[in-house]
């Protein structure tokens, strides 16, 4: 999940399933608890608090109703989720709480852009080893997903929720009005193999666009999609931050800047706290959005019932993986044993399948990913679109890029402080790049 700059970025990283919570309430677990304290017992009435961002699909309102199911199976347990939209603020607040050993939730979601920091030497001892606690089967997960959440001394601090194989979601009504193809395979051929073709399609859309609409939602979102499709992103092969010399970052920057300066985007900040991006889905203000699997749940929730059947999913210009997340259990939580057991249950293959069926989040468990339940799945919101086939096929080609512990922060600086300034304020791209460099130099101690 992302997706945010953790816009899942789980992806994520970045929300669709709950009200935005700000200030000290960015994380659950703050303040007193009326459940008796301690680490919990087999019959003791306890409340387990979960801190998330974006759309994880567990909730009882628009998700797979997993919390209600778990509460039925464990009558002594009540689950409360706090969900926010801004993944970077979520992570910054979580780091502060972890440093203070206070105020954390029993379970905290961690986006892939921050997992290397979470497993690094400064934070590795803050988490429960879920390879030993909770009963999760490590062999059920994709091997590379487990590796991402493993510390230098072999502790597994996070259980994989989803991965983010990418597609392009597009509004069929807007494409038709702009005299572009609407059938998904024909749409995919418009830009197959090259992000430059995607921009060229944007120019065609712009020439005949319905009034008040743009081809793409966000230059920052486009940056994330392009960089996620490159094998070299923010780090070198050894996991050291090297974003300035990355061909993937340069290509993503140039592509996003060109889109912004050519008027192809709606100039929106994804996951903004004011809800402007969400409202633009509902009001059909843009025709395309870079669409890792977890984005389908956001489209469903934000575009709403009135737009059901209007969105479809096409292959991306270049395959990639944007986002994906983990559930982790802080040692400072109130009920670490019960939290580890809940995290293991939520990320088990059976639950992965339930979340995918409702929310479209592609699972990070091997058997679920290849199961008929996923391979043959369709999401009601997207009609007859073979969602499972599209995303599971994309997932099979994922080669994870090397990651550093600073990827999430650098991505935020590049998108929110670089590209967004170009897009919304007309900042010169060279100046914006220098501003990002200064931020990295000032804020990141390598």
Cα three-residue angle 143-145-151, rounded to 5 degrees: 95
Higher pLDDT, residue 446 or 185: 185
pLDDT for 44 equals 86
Contacts of 72 (CB under 8 A, 6+ apart): none
Burial class (CB in 10 A: 0-12, 13-18, 19+), 306: exposed
Higher pLDDT, residue 443 or 134: 134
3-class SS at 297?
Answer: helix
pLDDT for 354 equals 95
pLDDT for 42 equals 61
Please determine, for residue 121, whether its predicted confidence score (pLDDT) is greater than 90: yes
pLDDT > 90 fraction of the chain, expressed in percent and rounded? 83
Please determine, for residue 424, whether its predicted confidence score (pLDDT) is greater than 90: yes
265 pairs with which residues across the strands? 216
Tell me if 97 sits within 8 A of 28, measured CB to CB.
no
Please determine, for residue 141, whether its predicted confidence score (pLDDT) is greater than 50: yes
CA distance to 13, 49, 106, 334, 345, per residue, from 127 (Å): 20, 16, 11, 13, 18
pLDDT digits 0-9 by tens, 216-239: 999 999 999 999 999 999 999 999
Residue 7: both structure tokens together: 């816009």
Residue 2: both structure tokens together: 């992302």
> For the residues 200-225, what does the mean pLDDT come to?
98
pLDDT for 8 equals 40
Measured distance CA(281)–CA(225) in Å, rounded: 18
Please determine, for residue 34, whether its predicted confidence score (pLDDT) is greater than 80: no
> For the residues 103-127, what does the mean pLDDT come to?
96
User: Which of 64-68, 367-371, 416-420, 421-425 has the lowest average pLDDT?
Assistant: 367-371
Across the chain, mean pLDDT equals 90
> For the residues 139-153, what does the mean pLDDT come to?
96
221's enclosing H/E stretch is helix 219-228
Question: pLDDT band at 35, cuts 50/70/90?
Answer: very low
Measured distance CA(414)–CA(418) in Å, rounded: 5
> For the residues 306-312, what does the mean pLDDT come to?
97
Contacts of 342 (CB under 8 A, 6+ apart): 48, 50, 70, 77, 79, 106, 107
> For the residues 66-84, what does the mean pLDDT come to?
97
CB atoms within 10 A of CB 206: 16
């Amino acid at each position: 999940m992302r997706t945010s700059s953790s816009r899942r970025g789980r992806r994520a990283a970045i929300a669709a399933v709950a009200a935005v919570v700000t200030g000290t309430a960015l994380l659950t677990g703050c303040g007193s608890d009326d459940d008796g304290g301690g680490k919990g017992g087999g019959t003791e009435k306890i409340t387990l608090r979960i801190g998330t961002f974006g759309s994880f699909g567990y909730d009882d309102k628009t998700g797979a109703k997993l919390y209600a199911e778990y509460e039925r199976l464990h009558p002594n347990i009540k689950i409360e989720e706090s969900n926010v939209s801004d993944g970077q603020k979520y992570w910054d607040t979580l780091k502060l709480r972890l440093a203070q050993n206070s105020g954390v939730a029993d379970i905290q979601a961690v986006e892939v852009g921050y997992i290397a920091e979470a497993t690094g030497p400064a934070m590795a001892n803050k988490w429960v080893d879920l390879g030993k606690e909770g009963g999760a089967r490590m062999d059920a997960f994709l091997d590379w997903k487990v590796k991402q959440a493993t510390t230098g001394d072999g502790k597994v601090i996070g259980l994989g929720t989803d991965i983010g194989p990418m597609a392009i979601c597009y509004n069929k009504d807007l494409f038709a009005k702009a005299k572009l193809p609407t059938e998904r395979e024909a749409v995919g051929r418009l830009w197959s193999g090259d992000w430059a073709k995607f921009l060229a399609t944007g120019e065609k859309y712009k020439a005949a666009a319905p009034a008040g609409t743009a081809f793409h939602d966000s230059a920052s979102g486009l940056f994330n999609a392009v960089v996620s499709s490159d094998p070299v992103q923010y780090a070198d092969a050894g996991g050291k931050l090297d974003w300035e010399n990355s061909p993937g970052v340069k290509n993503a920057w140039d592509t996003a800047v060109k889109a912004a300066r050519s008027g192809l985007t709606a100039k929106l900040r994804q996951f903004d706290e004011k809800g402007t991006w969400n409202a633009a889905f509902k009001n059909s203000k843009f025709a395309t959005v870079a669409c890792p699997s977890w984005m389908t749940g956001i489209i469903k929730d934000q575009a709403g019932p009135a737009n059901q059947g209007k969105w479809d999913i096409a292959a991306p210009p270049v395959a990639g993986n944007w986002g994906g997340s983990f559930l982790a259990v802080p040692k400072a939580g109130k009920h670490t044993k019960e939290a580890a057991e809940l995290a293991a249950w939520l990320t088990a293959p059976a639950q992965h399948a339930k979340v995918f069926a409702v929310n479209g989040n592609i699972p990070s468990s091997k058997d679920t990913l290849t199961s008929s339940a996923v391979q043959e799945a369709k999401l009601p919101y997207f009609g007859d679109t073979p969602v499972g086939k599209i995303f599971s096929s994309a997932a099979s080609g994922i080669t994870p890029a090397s990651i550093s512990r600073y990827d999430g922060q650098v991505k935020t600086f590049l998108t929110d402080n670089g590209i967004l300034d170009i897009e919304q304020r007309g900042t010169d791209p060279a100046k914006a790049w220098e501003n990002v460099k200064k931020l990295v130099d000032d804020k990141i101690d390598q």
